[in-house]
Structure 1
Amino acid sequence: MRTSGVLGATRGLGLHDHICWPYEDPEEFRARVLEFLADGLVLGQQCWYVSEGPTEVLTSHVAELGPALESGALRVVSVDETYGGATVTPAGQVATYAAATEAALAAGYAGLRVAAEATPMVRGDEALEAFCRYEHLVDRYMAGRPFAAMCAYNRAELPEAAIGELACMHPASGADAAPFRLYAASGDRVALDGELDLASRERFPRALDRVGLSAGTGPVVVEAAELEFIDHHAMFALARAAGGEVVLRTRHRAPARLAELVRVPGLRVEAE
C-alpha cells in the first residue's frame, strides 16, 4: 500500500511513496529532507538531494548523513542537472528518473529516493502546467517501481494557488496544501481522497485533464475509499473526464445516494 493523505512529517514513507511538501521555514524544510532521506538509506535506496545553489552549500544541508555521501549512497544534484531547463518535458523527465532507478537497482540498491526542492521548475504558468502533468506521470511510474520522492515548494516564492495545483497530483501532502488528492493506484487505475466541494470546483477538472482518464474497453475505476466528501459538480466532472462508464469505489454510502438523486450519466458508485 502507498501512503496517502495529509501528513505532519516525511518519515515512515516506503519505496513507492510520493509526497508534496510546501514549506515556509528553510530550516524546517531541511529537517524534513533529512528524515525523508535517512529513511530511504535505511530501506536501502540510493538517495538524491536535488536543489538550487552551490554544491558546497547543498552538501552542508545533508552533512549529517556524511557516511552516505562518502559511499555514494547519497548524492547532491543540482536542479539544472536533474531537470535540464526551466520547463520540464513530462515524459522525458519520467524516463530520466526511470533510468536512474534502474541504474540504482543494478548497483545493488533497493531503488531510488529523491528529495527535490522543485520551486525553480514551476515559475510561470507554462512551467507550472508542465510540472503538474509530470507529477502524475512520475507518480504512475512510482506506483509500480521502487522510486520515492519528496517534492518541496517554497511558499515564500509561489502563490498558494500554484501549490494547490501541484499538491493535488500527489498521494500525500503536508497540511493546508490541497483539499483533495488524485493519484496513481494499482494497474491503470487512479485513486482519489480528501474532499471535493465548492473549493475544488475549478481545480478538480484540471487535475482530471492532467491524468487523462480513458474508458478504453471497460469502465474507468476510481479507488476512493479515503474520499471523505464529493458533491454533484465533482461527480459530473468525473463522468465527463472519463468519456464513458466510470466506477467510483468508496466506503461511504452518501455518494451512492447522491449519484442516484442527481442521475449522473455514466457514473456508478460502489459503496464497499
Structure 2
Amino acid sequence: MSGQARRYGHLCWAYDDRAGFMARAVEFLRAGLAAGERVWLVVAGPPEPIRDRLLGLDDFATALAAGAAEVRSLDGAYTSVAVTDPASQVAAYRAATRTALADGYTGLRVAAEATGLVRTPAQRDAFARYEHRVNEMMVTEAFRAMCGYDRAELGDRAVAELACLHPEHNVDDLLFRLYAAPPHAGQVALAGELDPSNHDLFRTALDRADLAPVGDELVLVADALRFLDHRALIHLSEYAQDRDATLVLRAARSGVARLAALLDLPALRVEVLR
C-alpha cells in the first residue's frame, strides 16, 4: 500500500459474508473514534437493529450516546438510493464533514454497505463516477470512507469496476487503481499494472473519471505504476485527443518514456520522475 493510499483512507471492501464486512466496518470506525472523528455506519435496511448491537460495545455505546457515532440507513446518508447524483452526494458529504469539524471533531468517517446503490448498470455507472468525485473531495476535506460491496450478489466484474477507483481495496486479482492525485501532483494517480487482461476495465475507469483539461493538459501521476504496455499508452493518447488536450504521464520508469517515443503518440508526453 502506497503512502498516498494510506493518506486518503478510502477503502473498498468486497465481501462474501455480511458478518465479516460488519466486523471490518467496526474496526474501521473504531480507528476513527480513536482519532477524534465523528463516525457513521450506513446500513441496508433499518438502522435500529444494528444500533442495538453496537450498544453492546462499550466504546460505541459511549459514542452513540454522545453523538460521535451514528447508524444510518442508505436513504439517511445518500441523496438518492435510485441512481446516485455524484455532485449532490459529494456536496452532502462535504457539508456533513464540515458540520463535524464545527462540532469539534477532527473529521467524518463513514463505513457504508453500498451494494443496494450499485445493483443495476445505470446505478453502477453513476456510483463509480461518484467514487472518483469523492476521491477528489477527500484530497482537501477531512473525510474518510469504507465502501462495502457484496461480491456474491454483484459479481466479480461489477466489484472490479468500483474497486479500481479506490486508493485502497481488498480485491486480490485487481491489478490497478485510478484515483484523484494529491494537491499539486496532478489530476489523477495510477498505480499497479496495465496489461491486456485489464485494458477494457481501465478504459471504463478512465471514462468515468471524466478528466477535464487544466489549460490544455491532463496530468496523470504514475510513480506507483509497475508496468504498462503499448496499448495503454495508445489509449491514453486517444483519451487526450478526444478532449483536445495533451496527456502528461509522470512516470518513475524511464522505459515508459522510451516506449512512448517509439510509438510517436501526438497527444502524450512522458515526464520521468527523479
TM-score, normalised on structure 2? 0.90
Measure the CA separation in 1 of the matches of 2:203 and 2:34.
Answer: 39
Give SS of 2:177's match. strand
Measure the CA separation in 2 of the matches of 1:76 and 1:22.
Answer: 20
Matched AA of 1:119: T
1:54 aligns with 2:21: no
Q: Compute the displacement of 1:3 (Å).
A: 4.2
Aligned length: 263
Provide structure 2 residue ranges, at least 5 long, that are not aligned to the other structure: none
1:258 aligns with 2:259: yes
Q: Deviations over 1:37-91 (max 9, x none)?
A: 0111111111000011232322245342221111111100001221232211111
Give SS of 1:226's match. strand
Aligned with residue 164 of structure 1, among 156, 160, 163: 160
RMSD: 1.7
Provide structure 1 residue ranges, at least 5 long, that are not aligned to the other structure: 5-12
Matched residue, 1:68 = 63
Measure the CA separation in 2 of the matches of 1:157 and 1:44.
Answer: 35
Matched residue, 2:94 = 98
Measure the CA separation in 2 of the matches of 1:186 and 1:3.
Answer: 7
TM-score, normalised on structure 1? 0.91
Give SS of 2:112's match. strand
> Any conservation in 2 of the 1:47–1:74 contact (CA below 8 Å)?
yes
Aligned with residue 108 of structure 1, among 82, 104, 111: 104
> Any conservation in 1 of the 2:4–2:182 contact (CA below 8 Å)?
no
Give SS of 1:175's match. coil
> Any conservation in 2 of the 1:214–1:242 contact (CA below 8 Å)?
no
Q: Compute the displacement of 1:177 (Å).
A: 5.8
Alignment of structure 1 residues 75-90 onto 2, 5 Å: 75-83=70-78, 84-90=80-86
> Any conservation in 2 of the 1:201–1:234 contact (CA below 8 Å)?
yes
Identify if the C-alpha distance between structure 1 residues 51 and 262 changes in structure 2 by more than 3 Å, giving closer, same or farther.
same
Q: Compute the displacement of 1:211 (Å).
A: 1.4
Give SS of 1:38's match. helix
